Structure 1
Amino acid sequence: MTTLPLAPQHILIDPPVADAGAALEALAALLAESTGQSPALIAEALKSREAQGSTGIGHGVALPHARIDGASEVAVAVLRSAQGIPFAAPDGLDVRVFIAVAVPKAAATAHLEVLSNLAVRLASEEVRTELLKVSDSAGFFAVLTHSD
């Protein structure tokens, strides 16, 4: 997981967001820094993807993602919610860990590889538990990107 296109400055730990829309907008603002695209464009793309079906994967985790016109490379941003946010996850649990992925329109393979790698890493209960325990973005980054 060390090649994940994520930096600690693109990880928000427990910001004051109260709903799914606000979470996606906060993630879009972070993704905009990496993609050079506007936060509004990215937020709209993420929300449009959610309208097709929830990207909640269960266990308090969601992987919102979208292909972005004009993006030149894959970008990842994270938001951890202190209280959890309803997100239509398949297990009905509120989401506490959002990992958003923005990819160029033509990068279908990279898109699937990043999502697959994240899903595998987040399948570990130990990893999910540690992500909820860390107190800052550097700690979150270290847990998420650590290779076993």
Structure 2
Amino acid sequence: MTTLPLTPQQVLIDPPVTDAGAVLDALAALLAESTGQTAAVIAEALKSREEQGSTGIGHGVALPHARIDGVTEVAVAALRSAQGIPFAAPDGLEVQVFIAVAVPKTAATAHLEILSTLAVRLASEAVRADLLKVHNAEGFFTAMTHSD
């Protein structure tokens, strides 16, 4: 399984976001810290990708992602919202767990590998439940990166 490039510093727990745009802006700000790109460039890329179709995968989870010019390594950021955010997920549920991925424009394989790794991890009902119960970024990080 691909190693998840996530640290507790790249996790926001229950920030005051109320809509999809605010979620993507907050995630873009986190991704900007580790990609060398501006939050505005990343937010635009994430929002543009979302316009092509929701990255909500169901069960209260979304994986916003984009391939971005100028990004040199895969970067991951996470946000857990206290309340559900409408995100056009296929099951109609609002989303509370967002894991955003920014990858180099030319890294199609790495892009698919990291999304696959995330989807497999988040397919676990136990992992999703843990992510909703944690009280801080360290707990979220642990739930995302450690095996059951």
* Match in the other structure for 2:4: 4
Query: Unmatched 5+ residue regions in structure 2?
Result: none
Distance between the aligned counterparts of 1:82 and 1:2, measured in 2? 29
Distance in 2, matches of 1:4 and 1:111, equals: 12
Query: Secondary structure at 2:113's aligned position in 1?
Result: helix
1:53 aligned partner: 53
Asked if the contact 2:2/2:117 (under 8 Å) is kept, the reply is no
* CA RMSD, Structure 1 to Structure 2 (Å): 0.9
Q: What pairs with 1:31-110 in structure 2 (closer than 5 Å)?
A: 31-110=31-110
Q: Is the 8 A contact 1:35 1:72 kept in 2?
A: yes
Aligned-partner Cα distance in 2 for 1:92–1:39: 29
Letter in 1 for 2:103: V
1:40-91 C-alpha deviation (Å, 9 max, x unpaired): 0000000000000000000000000000100010000000000010000000
Q: Moved runs in structure 1, 4+ residues, more than 4 A? A: none
Percent of aligned pairs with the same amino acid: 81
Distance 1:119 1:39 in 2: 25
Aligned residues: 148
3-state DSSP of counterpart to 1:82: strand
CA contact (8 A) 1:2 1:146 kept: no
CA contact (8 A) 1:2 1:145 kept: no
User: Normalized against structure 1, the TM-score is what?
Assistant: 0.98
Query: Contact 2:28 / 2:43 at 8 angstroms: preserved in 1?
Result: yes
SS of alignment partner, residue 88 of structure 2: coil
2:20 matched to which residue of 1? 20
- SS of the residue aligned with 1:90? coil
**1:2 positional shift:** 7.6
Amino acid at match of 1:136: N
Q: What is the CA-CA distance between 1:3 and the residue it aligns to?
A: 1.9
Distance 1:100 1:2 in 2: 16
In the alignment, the residues of structure 2 paired with residue 59 and residue 3 of structure 1 have an alpha-carbon distance, to the nearest angstrom, of 23
Q: Structure 1: any 5+ residue segments left out of the alignment?
A: none
Instruction: Read off the aligned partner of 1:110 and give its amino acid letter.
Output: A
Shift of 1:103: 0.1
Q: How far off its partner does 1:133 sit? A: 0.3
Q: Please report how far the alpha carbon of residue 19 of structure 1 lies from its aligned counterpart in structure 2 after TM superposition.
A: 0.2
SS at structure 2 position matched to 1:79: strand
The aligned amino acid for 2:18 is A
Equivalent in the alignment of 2:131: 131
